[in-house]
Amino acid sequence: MATTRGQIISPDRARQIKDFSGLLFGTITPTDIDGLIEYHDKAYIIIEVKLEGTAIPRGQELALERLADDLRRNGKPAIFILAEHYVWDVDEPIDVAGAIVIKYRVQGAWHPQKDPPERVKCLIQRFLDWVDGRKTPSPMTHPANPEKRLLQKPPLGQVCIPDTKHRRKT
C-alpha cells in the first residue's frame, strides 16, 4: 500500500487505545505526543493538537514544556507548539499543518497566539528559518546573536497567510 509521507501508515492501529494504567508512578503516568520532528540533527519540533476548547492536561503540558527546555539546554533548539483543530467528526482526518496555534514555547519562554492566528505549518517554517540562520520575525532571536531580536516583517508573497476566520475567544 503506497502512502504519502506524513500520513499514518496503519490508521486502524493508530485508533487502537493504549492502556497506560499499569504505568502509574505516584501521580505520574505516560503521555503522548501528537507530532515530533527531528530536523537534520539541528532542532526539534514538538506538536500537540487539541479539539477547539479542549484544555491540555497540566501534566502533559508540563512534560512537553520540560522536554523542549531540556533539549534547548543540551544544545538543540526546540519548539513546543500547542494548537487546536475544528474537526469534530472522529472519522475525519485532522490537517495538523492547518491547525491554529494557541501558544508555543521556544527559547524557554511561552508566546501567545498571534492576532490574526497563525497556522502550525507557518510557525514551523518560521522556526526552521531561524534554525537555519535565515531572518525571521520576532519573538525568536537570531541563533548567532541571541540578544538580537529580529523585528522585520515576513517577505511579501509569503506562503503562510494568517487565519482571520478562527480567532480565539478571550
Return the ∠ at Cα 22 (arms to 18 and 28), rounded to 5°.
Answer: 95
Q: For residues 65 and 81, is the Cβ–Cβ distance under 8 A?
A: no
Return the ∠ at Cα 136 (arms to 134 and 139), rounded to 5°.
Answer: 135
pTM above 0.85, yes or no: no
What is the residue extent of each domain of the chain? 32-149
Which position has the grid cell 497567510?
161
| Separation of CA 137 from chain center | 17
- Residue 52 reports pLDDT greater than 50: yes
Tens-place pLDDT, residues 121-166: 999 999 999 998 875 444 454 444 444 433 333 333 344 655 555 5
d(CA 49, CA 94): 9
pLDDT at 24: 93
* Residue 78: DSSP 8-state: E
